[in-house]
């Protein structure tokens, strides 16, 4: 077969391949750039400009919860979990009164319990290398509230990535492996309290990553609905020693870190806030994997954006007194898209810049855009310098809601919030908040000299992180 004989869907089966740059629309370009990685069905539509505008007209309409057809409101998966537990098939890791939960309402009006203490931090694989100020700000808040490590929260290393990146990015993952990883991590959360003198279930998992959050909710639903899947993963977990009394441990709620910040927002504002941010214009981007995957579980509040959009992040900014500004592409994805960022990075970058950053700057004149997910924040933050290389000279500081809240509460911009890791420019924002960027930077440089000498400060006892006792 010649390269010119390639047809849609035949995956460049010739030994020569099509060659970089020679692929035509609709072909699987496995060895070059172009339209790639999305299946043989991905072809040029050849729409006219008028037809293309008509096809995407809905994107520009005002869309909110009340205008979206929610369809048939499916059964609450938790009701089926109670039945399985009653039948002796699973153990439900419950949110107990000792965890001081706050009840919130989800999209369908269901109650969801958010534990505020007794938390097991389930980290994000992308945080430490891209936005480390995101988890440090969260731990900083818990310390400021007087939470005792080893009692009120645990940040241990005995955990793994959710592996959903592989699943969404490459398509080579499978439900069984995802379910096994989910159950392995949440089993560790369930038993982790024993070595600290607590009962089983003392610590409840707090998921940092939006992708992990969406993936775990999806997998939990599959597990509850499929006896076959439960049987298969029970065998796997048995070999790993990750069963309790021969049973799988499944959590009552899947809880995202931003939900914890959400229910703690009034305490944060009343007890810890030190800086007036009423002059700061804030826009919000909420992760697709938070409120679009298993959408019935996302938190809504009637006094946040009219109850039409998920309250996460926005309510925090409001509680802190910032000016929350809406913009037309609020619902748009950040552009990350997993497979897109691998095979169509230019699409990812252009979507980020043209559909999010440019709009937030032009329509809202935003001082900062807040996010609640590793992938979103990384994408919108890091792509801005790439945009500048292509003449797109507009920018907005990008950070997590918890980082912004920490700044408003007096956290060090470098040591705690770690804005030095961000590609988007944060200097003007920090100065507008009344903080001296240059002084903070100089103090941090002096602190680094102390670190070099071995004088290290810890937010968290490293022995606890490694499974030791307090």
**Domain containing residue 303: CATH number:** 3.40.50.11810
* Same domain membership, residue 420 and residue 348: yes
* Same domain membership, residue 356 and residue 252: no
Assess if residue 230 is contained within a domain.
Answer: yes
- Edge-to-edge strands, sheet with 153-154: 153-154, 119-122, 204-207
Tell me, what's the pLDDT at 284? 96
Tell me, what's the pLDDT at 170? 65
Domain that holds residue 10: 1-41
* Same domain membership, residue 285 and residue 242: no
* Same domain membership, residue 209 and residue 125: yes
Assess if residue 469 is contained within a domain.
Answer: no
| Cα→Cα distances 123→134, 206, 210, 250, Å | 10, 8, 11, 18
* Same domain membership, residue 209 and residue 81: yes
* Same domain membership, residue 134 and residue 281: no
In 138-268, DSSP assigns E strands to 153-154, 204-207, 248-251
How confident is the prediction along the chain (470 residues), in pLDDT tens digits per residue?
443 443 433 333 333 433 333 333 333 333 333 333 444 444 566 778 888 777 667 656 666 665 566 666 678 999 999 999 999 999 999 999 999 999 999 988 899 999 999 999 999 887 777 889 999 999 999 999 999 999 999 999 999 888 877 666 666 678 999 999 999 999 999 999 998 999 999 999 999 998 899 999 999 999 999 999 999 999 999 999 999 999 999 999 999 999 999 999 999 999 999 999 999 999 999 998 899 888 889 999 998 988 888 999 999 999 999 999 999 889 888 887 766 666 666 667 777 888 899 999 999 999 999 999 988 998 899 888 776 777 777 889 999 999 999 999 999 999 999 999 999 999 999 999 999 999 999 999 999 999 999 999 899 888 887 777 65
* Same domain membership, residue 226 and residue 83: yes
Tell me, what's the pLDDT at 264? 98
Tell me, what's the pLDDT at 8? 37
Assess if residue 135 is contained within a domain.
Answer: yes
Tell me, what's the pLDDT at 67? 59
Assess if residue 105 is contained within a domain.
Answer: yes
* Same domain membership, residue 404 and residue 314: yes
* Same domain membership, residue 113 and residue 249: yes
Tokens 């990075």 identify what position?
Answer: 345
* Same domain membership, residue 240 and residue 105: yes
167 CB burial (10 A radius; 0-12, 13-18, 19+): buried
């Amino acid at each position: 077969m010649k390269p010119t004989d390639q047809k849609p869907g035949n995956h460049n089966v010739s030994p020569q391949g099509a060659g970089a740059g020679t692929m035509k629309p609709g072909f699987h370009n496995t060895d070059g750039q172009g339209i790639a990685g999305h299946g043989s069905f991905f072809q040029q539509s050849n729409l006219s400009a008028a037809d293309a505008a008509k096809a995407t007209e809905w994107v520009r309409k005002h869309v909110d919860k009340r205008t979206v057809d929610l369809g048939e409101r499916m059964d609450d998966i938790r009701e089926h979990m109670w039945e399985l537990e009653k039948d002796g098939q699973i153990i439900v890791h419950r949110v107990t009164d000792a965890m001081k939960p706050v009840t919130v309402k989800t999209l369908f009006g269901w109650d969801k319990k958010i534990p505020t203490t007794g938390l097991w931090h389930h980290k994000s694989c992308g945080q430490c290398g891209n936005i480390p100020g995101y988890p440090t700000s969260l731990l900083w808040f818990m310390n400021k509230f007087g939470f005792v490590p080893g009692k009120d929260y645990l940040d241990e290393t005995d955990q793994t990535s959710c592996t959903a990146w592989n699943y969404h990015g490459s398509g080579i993952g499978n439900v069984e492996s995802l379910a096994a990883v989910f159950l392995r991590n949440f089993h560790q959360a369930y038993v982790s309290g024993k070595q600290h003198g607590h009962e089983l279930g003392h610590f409840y998992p707090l998921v940092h990553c939006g992708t992990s959050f969406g993936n775990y909710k999806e997998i939990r639903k599959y597990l509850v609905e499929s006896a076959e899947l439960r049987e298969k993963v029970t065998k796997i977990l048995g070999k790993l020693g990750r069963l309790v009394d021969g049973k799988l441990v499944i959590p009552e709620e899947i809880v995202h870190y931003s939900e914890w910040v959400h229910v703690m927002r009034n305490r944060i504002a009343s007890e810890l806030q030190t800086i007036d941010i009423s002059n700061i214009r804030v826009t919000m981007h909420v992760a697709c994997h938070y409120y679009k995957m298993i959408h019935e579980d996302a938190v809504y509040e009637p006094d946040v954006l009219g109850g039409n959009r998920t309250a996460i992040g926005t309510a925090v900014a409001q509680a802190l007194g910032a000016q929350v500004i809406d913009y037309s592409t609020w619902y748009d994805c950040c552009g990350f898209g997993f497979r897109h960022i691998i095979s169509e990075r230019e699409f990812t970058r252009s979507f980020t810049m043209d559909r999010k950053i440019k709009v937030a700057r032009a329509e809202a004149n935003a001082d900062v855009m807040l996010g609640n997910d590793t992938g979103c924040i990384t994408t919108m933050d890091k792509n801005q310098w790439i945009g500048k290389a292509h003449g797109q000279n507009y920018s907005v500081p990008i950070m997590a809601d918890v980082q912004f809240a920490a700044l408003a509460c007096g956290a060090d911009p470098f040591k705690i919030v770690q804005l030095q890791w961000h590609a988007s420019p944060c200097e003007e924002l920090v100065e507008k908040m009344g903080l001296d960027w240059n002084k903070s930077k100089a103090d941090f440089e002096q602190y680094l000299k102390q670190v070099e000498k071995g004088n290290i400060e810890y937010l968290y006892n490293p022995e606890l992180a490694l499974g030791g006792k307090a």
